[in-house]
């Protein structure tokens, strides 16, 4: 999992805790006038909802800000009506303050969100191909397509392209080299430490993000398949597959197939990185 995804997940859990706290403060029979001076109550009220909107703006994944503004508006209005049941007053001005607050928070979060997304896109991604030991891959060598098996993962249903087959890999984080990212993603997704042998190819995802491909081998002298530990949130299972079987599999990601197809057609690994 990338730092960006961990940051987003912290926002999700932090937002839930903050929402529970706000619900308690809003629906408590007595308003928190002892905590907040009356002359600052309206300002704090606005800022509290702006913070909620900001956290939601950073935590959201693919749904739009308009969707979340609608959800939060319903909460802003509904909580004010619910206050009647606790003996507190219903005030239209509070709904206005709440709505302006969450709207401001979402607006402020939007450019930061775009900046984070852009940094991830520009850095690109890294992918590593690991042959099943004792087979080892070397740049420029002829491949025995009948004996060579490589490790692929099947994506979980919780991520993009659910159920698809692909090689372990993921985002390059700011300040991280492509080879460092390949090792980290391999460790996070399947629990294995790998050593990078060489860069073999470059291509792009359908969205245009650059991908750097590496040959890898186990970092340790001995390989223990029992050490494989899948990251269940992103990986459903792993398989050892031959390259021709992957090319023929409709579940294999197209940008992965593009690279493997070249190896199968030539029967050898490139002596210098391919550019596709």
Per-position pLDDT tens, the chain of length 276: 556 677 778 888 888 898 888 888 777 777 665 666 666 777 887 888 899 998 988 888 766 788 888 888 888 888 888 878 777 777 788 888 888 989 999 998 888 877 776 665 566 899 999 999 988 888 888 988 888 999 999 999 988 889 999 999 988 887 789 999 999 999 999 999 999 999 999 998 887 888 999 999 999 877 888 889 999 889 999 999 999 999 999 999 999 999 999 999 999 988 888 877
Q: Are residues 55 and 88 in the same domain?
A: yes
pLDDT given at position 9? 81
Burial class (CB in 10 A: 0-12, 13-18, 19+), 219: middle
- Provide the number of structural domains found in the chain: 2
The residue segments making up the domain with residue 65 are 3-121
Spatial distance between the Cα atoms of 163 and 220, rounded to a whole number of angstroms: 30
Q: Are residues 8 and 42 in the same domain?
A: yes
CATH number at residue 168: 3.90.79.10
Q: Are residues 218 and 133 in the same domain?
A: yes
Q: Are residues 113 and 137 in the same domain?
A: no
The two most distant CA atoms of the chain are separated, in Å, by: 80
Q: Are residues 99 and 135 in the same domain?
A: no
DSSP letters of 64-77?
-HHHHHHHHHHHHH
pLDDT given at position 31? 64
Structure tokens at 222: 């001995």
Q: Which of 121, 146, 172 is the last residue of a domain?
A: 121
Q: Are residues 80 and 202 in the same domain?
A: no
Q: Are residues 65 and 173 in the same domain?
A: no
pLDDT given at position 115? 75
Q: Are residues 97 and 148 in the same domain?
A: no
Q: Are residues 156 and 209 in the same domain?
A: yes
Q: Helical H runs in the chain?
A: 3-27, 41-59, 65-82, 92-123, 178-190, 243-248, 254-266
Q: Are residues 180 and 196 in the same domain?
A: yes
Q: Are residues 153 and 260 in the same domain?
A: yes
Q: Which of 80, 106, 121 is the last residue of a domain?
A: 121
Cα→Cα distances 34→31, 38, 47, 217, 253, Å = 8, 9, 18, 63, 59
Cα→Cα distances 59→16, 63, 214, Å = 10, 10, 32
Q: Are 211 and 203 within 8 A, CB to CB? A: yes
pLDDT given at position 92? 84
Q: Which of 121, 148, 164 is the last residue of a domain?
A: 121
Q: Are residues 102 and 166 in the same domain?
A: no
């Amino acid at each position: 999992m990338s730092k960006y995804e961990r940051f987003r997940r912290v926002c999700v859990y932090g937002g839930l805790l903050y929402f529970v706290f706000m619900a308690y403060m809003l629906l408590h029979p007595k308003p928190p006038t002892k905590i907040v001076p009356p002359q600052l109550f309206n300002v704090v009220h606005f800022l509290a909802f702006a913070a909620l909107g900001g956290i939601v703006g950073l935590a959201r994944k693919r749904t739009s800000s308009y969707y979340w503004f609608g959800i939060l508006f319903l909460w802003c209005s509904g909580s004010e009506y619910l206050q009647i049941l606790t003996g507190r007053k219903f005030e239209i001005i509070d709904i206005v303050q709440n709505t302006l607050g969450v709207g401001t928070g979402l607006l402020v979060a939007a450019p930061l969100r775009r900046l984070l997304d852009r940094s991830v896109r520009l850095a690109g991604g890294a992918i590593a191909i690991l042959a099943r030991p004792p087979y080892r891959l070397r740049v420029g060598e002829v491949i025995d397509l009948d004996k060579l098996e490589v490790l692929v993962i099947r994506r979980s249903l919780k991520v993009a392209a659910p159920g698809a087959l692909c090689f372990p890999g993921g985002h390059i984080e700011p300040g991280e080299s492509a080879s460092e990212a390949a090792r980290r993603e391999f460790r996070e997704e399947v629990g294995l430490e790998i050593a990078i042998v060489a860069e073999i190819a470059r291509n792009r995802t359908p969205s245009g993000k650059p991908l750097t491909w590496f040959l890898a081998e186990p970092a340790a002298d001995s390989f223990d398949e029992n050490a494989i530990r899948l990251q269940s949130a992103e990986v459903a299972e792993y398989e050892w597959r031959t390259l021709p079987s992957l090319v023929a599999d409709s579940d294999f990601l197209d940008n992965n197939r593009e690279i493997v197809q070249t190896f199968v057609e030539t029967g050898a690994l490139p002596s210098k990185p391919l550019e596709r």
